[in-house]
Structure 1
Amino acid sequence: MKYLPIDSELFIKNRAKFAAQMQPNSLAVFNSNDIYPISADSTLPFAQHRDIFYLSGVDQEESILVIFPDCPKEKHREILFLRETNEHIAVWEGEKLTKESAFKTSGVKTVYWLQDMEKVMFELMTQCDTVYINTNEHYRANVELETREDRYTKWLKEKYPAHSVAKSAPILQRLRSVKEKQEIKLMQKACNITEKGFRRILSFVKPDVWEYEIEAEFMHEFLRNRSKGFAYTPIIASGNNANVLHYIENNKQCKAGDLILFDVAAEYANYSSDLSRTIPVSGKFTDRQKAVYNAVNRVKNEATKMLLPGTDWAEYHVEVGKLMTSELLGLGLLDKADVQNENPEWPAYKKYFMHGTSHHIGLDTHDYGILTDPMQANMVFTVEPGIYIPDEGFGIRLEDDVVIQEQGEPINLMKNIPIEADEIEDIMNS
């Protein structure tokens, strides 16, 4: 891994929190992701399933974690099953976890090789009443392929049909949404790497540069700072491309006078950051561009102040909509009649700001979190308002990642990343 070792105390604490929420005499199973094939012998780079990483720190394929707090055998209350490594594998594929290094990474004392899994699981299943399976219940999930987790769950339910089945997802949704201090530090590291990338491109962008060249500059800076790269598919959208919310082609030339909307950020140790900025190709905003830019920035700043313990996510978005409506009236994009006659299900401001303002962020860019639960301290949210004006050939989105505090305003993990229009112009022209 490119990232520096993480203290296993984080994963020990995460497992303890999960175990405390389990039913009596139950066990839970978590699988790593597959390595996904492309064709022939080509594969996508491995990306670990975030749940097993959250609970163990194990970051390799063919791994299984079992948590069984009430197991009669103390040594079987936490178990890792790993693919057995040897010198041949080390030469051809690189070093894999040994039993000793797995303990150092995870804090799990009992480690078996995968070939012993079925035998050990038979013993464990005779001792438990309920098994927790891990299903993807994220509100944005739309998964068509069968995962390694799915296959394991199917095998487990077929082999042990008399056991009660419970779901890990509701527990993990709540646990993962509230970050430990060490997790916030890892996210801050991801944000710091993102800052380096953004400052790099501020001195790189000029008329006629290509969007993919800017993408390459970001990637260069991310990799040289121990990131695997982008936390999500990068958006580098110049001119009217910014009005396509998920524009990812990044293949157009940036023209003088246009704006470039970036939605680009680094990961670090599997933790995401999520940044949006909008800059002028020529190094200076027009008066109209700056007026819209400052309107978006004002909405972002006021929306950030609303992220407090107890805030309801849905009501928060209603209030942000009111802020945006006021700014759009000031910009002449809406008039009073538009607001008076608006459809409450799709308010007038949605013509220019059609997406949500905030989502959970953590191990996933759109991280776990139950949106009907009130916000809590140490949840981390994005704040990302935007105004998109196809008729004027530009769109603006600004986004930071913030940590809710027990008292006072949230802490902005991206506070050192330039955002004020005048500051961006000064840096680009220095």
Structure 2
Amino acid sequence: MKKKFYSFWGVSQLLVGAMTIGLVSCEKSSELLYDFSETSESSIQSRAISVADSVSLFSNIDEFKKKPETKSYSYYPETDEFYSSNMYAVRELPFALKVRGGGVVGQPYLSTQGMRKELILSAYSSSKFYLKILPPSSGIPYLIYSKSYNKPLVCGQYNNDPNNKLVFVWDSEDISSGSWDLIPSTYKGYFSIENQTYLGTADPNNPWSVFNYSIEVKSNGQVGYAKYNKQPQQEFLLEFQDKFKVKEIAFEPKAVVTELDPVVVYSNGQTGAVAGPSNITIYAKKDVKDTSCYTEKGALKIPMANEEQMFLRPAIIAGQFIAPGNFSSGEMPDSTIFLPRAPYTSTTYEIPKTLSVTIPVEVDEPSLIKVTTYLKKYSVKADYTITMTYRNGNEANDREVKFKGSWYGIINTTSKAKPDEIVTIPLEEYMKSLSNNNLQ
């Protein structure tokens, strides 16, 4: 009996022990499961942090003893005297960045993906940027900011790929690698965008061959850098969305006026019965086309608020250039000589026009009159300055941009290039000639 009791007690102890172990095991499993969950989340977070931390700013300017000259935003007076004031006028106005060519076909726009992420190419212009201009004493020509994140563009790299420098939107105001210069291209509105802290040398043995790397789009869609050599993939249009109103187009008082071959107008007339000498008038008309073309200079390309707006054109009187503006005919102001108007466009715009002249003729008998008239026609090149304005938000004053340019036009006039050629044929003689022609 004792043996059975001890056996039962032993079995009971084993069961209790097993249950205890089971309970402990369950608790441990729960703890392990909890720990695994915590570890997994921590691991995911650490990986995310690791990915973020794998991006770093890059600047090598301190490695170079001879550095390129740092310029402020006002250093192009020789090619554009309004460059400084115009760039200041467009500060903090949003624009898209559009590459002139290269990269990925159909994806010309630079696009943001987020902070601490590289720029990529896109088919859409939805990503906007803006310029910040610091005092010249800062030595920074421009800062370029993402409009979506209000953070600067910088030169950076992935630490696991340090030889591939890219353009990033940073996540702070650290601009140690975010100094940029905009170099005007020969294509209006396009710029080379130089990073001022990423330098290279064309010749390692020549300390004077130091250059700044410029942004270049790649065929894989990345936005990296290269030495600027005027390639399409290295030039970018600042495509502004805010439109400026034309305030004034002011022409210089002198222009280059060249007389062209005259317009030839043929006209005919017939007198009625006349007795002795008589004066009659021949009316001559010819449809012609004037032309107008504005060639604007300057670095920026600014959109107009009203592209259909029409403007008065220059005129030619007595071979002299007359700019649109205050002009009097007799005792009264007269603006009709500057009509018809033409739009402000760089493509040649044609203006239909009818030239009408009268030719007085003296005859002694009933006659057929044939007249050849020669009217003056001019080619004109006139320099001008256009002023455009924009009111930004609640700012008290308009922002103003100015551009110089040259207007090219063809102007047809009713001034005589030389005396009319008048042939009078007595009607009797004319009728005889017609009769003879019919008999033949």
TM-score, with length taken from structure 2: 0.28
Larger radius of gyration: 2
Higher helix share: 1
Higher strand share: 2
TM-score, with length taken from structure 1: 0.28
